[in-house]
Structure 1
Amino acid sequence: MPTPTEVVVAPPVSRKLQGAVVPDQRVLATRFAQVEKITLRVEHLGEDGVVDMHGTGTLVTQAGGIITAAHVVSEVSDRYRAVLDNGTTVKLEVVARDEAHDLAAAKLRPADDAQRGAVAALPWVELGPAAAPGDWVVCGGHASDPADHAATRSAGVVQSTSYVFEPKEFAGRGRAPKTLGHFDSMLQADCGIARGMSGGAMIDDSGELVGIIVGTGIASPVAASPAILRSLALAPPRATQHSGVSRAAKTESKRHDALALTNEPGDDIRKALVVVAPSGRSAVGGISVGRPGLVLTVKNAVAKADGEMRAALPRVSRNGLDDKPCSEIVAIRGELALLRCEPLDDAVLTLSIAEASLAAEIRTISAGNDWIGSGFVTGLSRTPGEVRPPRVNLGCGMVNAHHYEEHPPVEVGEVFAHDADRFTAGEAVVDLRGAPIGIDVANVEAGVSFAVPLRNAMARFPEIR
């Protein structure tokens, strides 16, 4: 019988499992903590004194020097500020821009002794050697969502060091998108990146800065801009790759393609998963719990965007076929709902529930879909508040209205964050042993998702017992 770290699962697995080497969990947890400390929320105040734009800045000197994306500080203005982790705001002066690489340099300008002390105590990151395809990186920044403003973090693998990036914006129905710029030789990695993270850090697994986030999965290599380095009196990073923690961690770590769910727990969790098909919207996931016929799913399966209950209760199935009706909403508590449905069979969740731990590797699994998402737990005990799902302007008012009804904002309580590369509301999040740890409830972008700890979810509904 293979050990839990050596079993290969039959269903297809995501891009993070294509032969890459997984950093040690302790190393990855350290990098998640580091990237949160070295990034600050950058805000611009309008003439009325209200924040009208925000992004992220990365601390690179002990004296409060910051590198960010040029488009984050595109206004010629003296109304930029940075928000420290204790909520203190400090004036931020832009000292250099390199539009060709979408980079800018700025300095914190503390106003008094208290601010000077706070700035002096801030950690910063050293510049690292050039990244190479296949290297693991950690990305961090301060996303527009969620509302708790905590740093958003994710891990990924560098795909390219010569990516041509041409950001575009929607120009209206029937019109070609407007190209906002052309950037050569960018870093491309499969990190989860959300709006507001531009200017954040991409660090390697030795904790050194390799790039500044400028787009979804795109970072500008800092070494490409001598002008930015000179403006902050930074020496160019060494050209050769180091042989320290990064290589050691990779040598000692497990291979991704040898990691998957053990067969028995994987089979067990799938037996308990259901497809929940609400009236008038796309299907979500659910878990059979307690006794046959009880289904734990997300609130949006039975409620509309405005909170009004849907006219008809959903139907459930294992694979989208042979579905059965639900007859009762037993309870709605927070982001979740418990339904009573006609039993599909006798299968219910019987596995022991596990706890999420920072930087632990996870999988996301839903019924009726063989594809398994993969990623890491990137944050614990988050309270995001209202989370707005990804918004795509589809060009037609009716289509957009339907899209927003399908993907309404979700009020999220205490959750853990993860960067699995696929998301379905109501799906199960499991650890590498196949033990369930959470139920997915919301996502901001691909690779930036939130799950209610399953033990917490079950405790909300005494009706399950």
Structure 2
Amino acid sequence: MASVLVGGAAAGALPAQAQAAAPNRNAPGSFADLAEKLLPAVVNISSSQNAPQRQQGPRPEIPQFPPGSPFEDFFRDFFDRQQQEQPQRKSTSLGSGFVIDATNGYVVTNNHVVQDADEITVILQDDTNIKAELVGRDSKTDLALLKIKTSHPLVAVPFGDSDAMRVGDWVLAIGNPFGLGGSVTAGIISARQRNIDAGPYDDFLQTDASINRGNSGGPMFNLNGEVIGINTAIFSPSGGSVGIGFAIPSNLAKQVVAQLKDYGKTRRGWLGVRIQAVTPEIAESLGLPGHKGALVASVTPDGPAAKAGIQAGDVVIKFDGKEIDEMRRLPRVVAETSIDKAVPVEVWRKGKSQTVQVKVGELEAAEEQGLLAAGPEDKQQPGDKAPAQKPVESLGMKMTAITPELRQQYEIKPDMKGVVITDVTSNSTAAEKGLRAGDVIIEVGQEEVRKPEDVAAKVQKAKEQNKKSVLLLVDRKGDLRFVAIPLS
């Protein structure tokens, strides 16, 4: 008979060694002792932004009076008073944070809590108000570091290991919902490694502990009293908690906070590639065992990857000895790598793996220089005007060579070479994969194509080789991506 939970204890007791292995994973009879210990380290954040009153239009003209008229001075004084700048109003936001260094007064919160703030105030548990200095902030992970100076004794909490948390583990969330002051909620880890499209390094912990507006920037604790997450976002159609909250894992936050403390900004590693996910169809067309890794769609000229010889069409399967089991793991692994460090990168290229050495660059420096991953650098030869041809049909698409008229119609770059799609049959596999008129096919099976017959021939060759899909490199107004089209 299955075990039944009665008053928090299971009828079927766990083996002694299992209880010893995870003593802090079982819910205590009360969270009161833990909450009492942690509450002094959690602070409220009040940030305000000055917003000048909007002027009510141009100054009206003063009526004309005879020289020396007493009305002249009266109206001049009246209009001058009206045009004086109105008092500034303040827009205020409330959030949460926590002290990580009691000696130096460092406080961690969310970037969106203090973004664009003219004044930041940290409010301790005993309602002590302290003006805070913004040390640095990072919009990509939504983290900010503050510093306060006070003779008031502070209580700090340590970061824990978020990777050690398992789905089902108990957690405490402490914050300032709706500006009410310190508030404690309990729940479990509902899921790990959630991607909610909040930024390039999404790796959120999900919890059912109640998180509401004002909890942003507050800590999520394990039962050892260690911060394993920073509460950041909720999923809610109504705006209130529905039991789906998200926290930045501490292992991601620790490095960002350390960089903000040392440099006042982040200094992330940079590879210089634009990537996409490896689907089962793409993996099959590349001969890659298992659909893992990050497919390189384009490479930034003169970037670290380009200098190391990484090419569009390569699949990064290992970076600095770390497995890249899915696409979105690569940006985080690269970002966490020391700048100027030479690392081995294992890529899958044309049916086999090979390793190249890459000297990691700095992402922030690349952003300042406006460097972006770009497509092939082939230059159109002067006067290269493809003659009009009869469209060729294949894979449910009509294709033709690029003509000046088609370049203008579909906004195709002057230096772009390939085959343009002019029509896609509805309900075809090409339509299901999102291809549409105006897309330019640059490669088929990782080989360049210049005319529609090239595409048809390579598709036919893939069929004769009993391949299940064929890989296309497609450009859509400068956006390069690989598309695997099933051949069945």
Q: Say which one has the larger Rg.
A: 2
Q: TM-score scaled to structure 2, two decimals?
A: 0.37
Q: TM-score scaled to structure 1, two decimals?
A: 0.39
